[in-house]
Amino acid sequence: MPREDGLPPGTLVMLILHVLTGGPRHGYAIAQRIHTLSREELSVEEGSLYPALQKLLLKGWVKASPAISETGRAIREYRLTPSGRRQLERECANYRRMGAAIDAVLDTA
């Protein structure tokens, strides 16, 4: 994702996967959820969600099914697949390990 303003590279995918653990959601809801959960800290250019979702679809980490939005428009709902769940675990573990390592460096210096 080249334009994940304010997000460390690669984390958008992880965030989307995490948000979807709470159940199927459509694009707008995913964006809202990330926004809320980050205590409005992470302000993503919301459209960049869609290229990321295409990647998740291609990798088979999420599945899309047609749905109708609250405003009555045809949209798609995304659901986490078992392989998506495994991917999330891998990414989280990676992220935590990296974070701990960076913290360690910052603490000692």
Partner 1 sequence: MMILGEWLRRIWYLVNRRRFEAALHEEMEAHRARLGQPARFGNTLRLREESRDVWGWTWLDALVRDFRFAARGLRRTPVYTVVVIGSLALGLALTTVMVSVVNAYLIRSLPYPAADRLYHVRYAPPGPWEPRGMTGLDWTSVEDVIEFPIASLGESFYLADGRYTVALRGLRVTRGFADGLGVSVAVGRRLLGEDFLPGSERVALIGHSLWRDRFGSDPGAIGRAIRVEAESRPGSPESFRIVGVIAPGFYYGRDSRTAVEILVPNTDPVRTYMVRLRAEVPPAIAARRLTEAARRAATSPIPSDWTGVQLESVRDRWVGGLRPILFGVTLAVSLVLVIVCANVTVLMLLRSMRRQREVAVRLALGSDWWHIARMLLTETLLICTTALGVGVAIATVALRTLAPLIEKQLGRQAPDPSGIEIGTTVLVVVGGVSLLLAVALSVLPLTSWGRTRTNALQQDVRIASEGRSMRRLRSALVAFEIAGSLVLLVGCGLMIRSVMTMLHTDFGFDAEGLTTSRIMLRARNYPNPAAYRLLYERFIRQVSDGLGSRIVFSSWPPFVPPPTHLIERDEGTAVGAGFIAVSAGYFSTFRISLGQGREFTAEEASAEATVAVVSETLAARLWPAGDAIGRRVRDVEQTPGGSTAGPWRTVVGIARDVRQTYDDADRSDFYIAKTPDGRFGTFYARTSRPASPLFDQLQRAAGDIDRDAVINPPRPVADDDQTRVETRFLTRMLTTFAASASVLAMLGVYGVTAYAVQQRHKEIAIRIALGASDRAVMRLFLREGVQLLGFGTVLGLIGATAFSRVLSAHIVGVQNSQASTWVTASALLLSAGFATVFWAARRADVGNPASALNAG
Binding site for partner 1 (CB under 8 A): 2-3, 26-28, 31, 45-48, 50-51, 53-55, 57-60, 66, 69, 71, 73-76
Q: How far is the CB of 51 from partner 1 (least distance, A)?
A: 4
Q: How far is the CB of 55 from partner 1 (least distance, A)?
A: 5
Cα separation of 69 and 88, whole Å? 26
Cα separation of 34 and 105, whole Å? 28
Q: How far is the CB of 93 from partner 1 (least distance, A)?
A: 19
11-45 burial code (b ≥16 CB/10 A, e <16)? ebbbbbbbbbeeebbbbebbbebbeeeeeeebebe
59 vs 96, which CB is nearer to partner 1?
59
22 vs 47, which CB is nearer to partner 1?
47
70 vs 107, which CB is nearer to partner 1?
70
Cα separation of 70 and 53, whole Å? 20
Which tokens in the block code for residue 19? 């948000």
Q: How far is the CB of 30 from partner 1 (least distance, A)?
A: 10
